[in-house]
């Protein structure tokens, strides 16, 4: 085997792998579980939470003229003797919370 051919093949394989990884990273969404964990950690800053849920499929959401692929979920917490429920919208690409609405 010729060493030049070996190193050329190795180089092409490494560059191709790096390019493929970068393309996959830019086009992929965070998992719904990760988006939920992010929402829970943000809500926990204001006090304990008692329950949470998230839809596993993305949906389209428009806010201020911008369209996002999002996960929709909810958080419930007990403050004193009162239960408060919140719905949140999380960006599917980054997991960042875009919007929250208090339901009860």
- Compute φ and ψ for 76, nearest 5 degrees: -125, 145
What does the DSSP 8-state code read for residue 80? T
pTM of the model: 0.71
Total domains in the chain come to 2
Domain that holds residue 19: 1-28
Q: What is the pLDDT of residues 36-46, one digit of tens each?
A: 999 999 999 98
**Residues 79, 47: one domain?**
yes
CATH code, domain with 40: 3.10.450.40
**Residues 37, 72: one domain?**
yes
**Residues 46, 1: one domain?**
no
**Residues 69, 46: one domain?**
yes
47: left (phi > 0), else alpha (psi -120 to 50), else beta? Answer: left
Residue 26 has pLDDT above 70, yes or no: no
Task: For residue 22, give every residue at least 6 positions away whose Cβ sits within 8 Å of its Cβ, in sequence order, or none.
Answer: none
**Residues 36, 87: one domain?**
yes
From CA 58, how far away is CA 29, in angstroms rounded? Answer: 9
């Amino acid at each position: 085997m010729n060493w030049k051919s070996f190193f050329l093949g190795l180089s092409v394989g490494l560059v191709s792998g790096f390019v493929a990884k970068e393309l996959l990273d830019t086009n992929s969404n965070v998992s719904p579980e990760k988006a939920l964990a992010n929402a829970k950690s943000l809500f926990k800053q204001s006090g304990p939470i008692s329950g949470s849920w998230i839809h596993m499929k993305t949906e389209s959401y428009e806010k201020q003229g911008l369209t996002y692929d999002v996960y929709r979920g909810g958080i419930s917490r007990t403050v004193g003797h009162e239960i408060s429920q919140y719905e949140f919208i999380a960006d599917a690409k980054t997991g960042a919370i875009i919007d929250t609405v208090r339901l009860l």
